[in-house]
Amino acid sequence: MEELRMSRVLSTEEAKSAIRQIQAIVTGGLTDQISQLDTQGQKLSQPDNWDGPLAATFRSSTWPETKAALDKAKQELDDLRGQLEKISTNIFSAGGGS
């Protein structure tokens, strides 16, 4: 007969604090800063704002690659935000934290 194993549940104050701090960083401006980078990169990508050999390289490769990375980072942060909501709900209810 197979033995039923219980999962370990642990939620220390350190874990609760880490969750709160990550949430504060993500919701406290990191995604806004990524959006601001995007806005400025778009401005630099316009030939009427900046042109020349370096600007052409920026428009054709540097910015598209950077924008893709920023978009991915923003999506990852949105995913992290959702996971943090689930994690914090579980940790705080399981650990009785406030």
Query: Which residue type does 31 have?
Result: T
Report the chain's C-alpha Rg in angstroms: 21
Three-state DSSP state, 47:
coil
For the segment 3-28, what is each residue's pLDDT rounded down to a tens digit? Answer: 556 677 677 888 888 888 998 888 87
| pTM reported for the whole predicted model | 0.72
For the segment 25-46, what is each residue's pLDDT rounded down to a tens digit? Answer: 888 788 889 999 999 999 999 9
Residue 55's closest CA among 41, 69, 66?
Answer: 41
HEC letters along 21-44: HHHHHHHHHHHHHHHHHHHHHHHH
* Paired tokens of 74: 């923003």
CA distances to 14, 27, 57 from 52, in Å? 52, 38, 9
What does the domain layout of the chain look like in residue ranges? Answer: 13-95
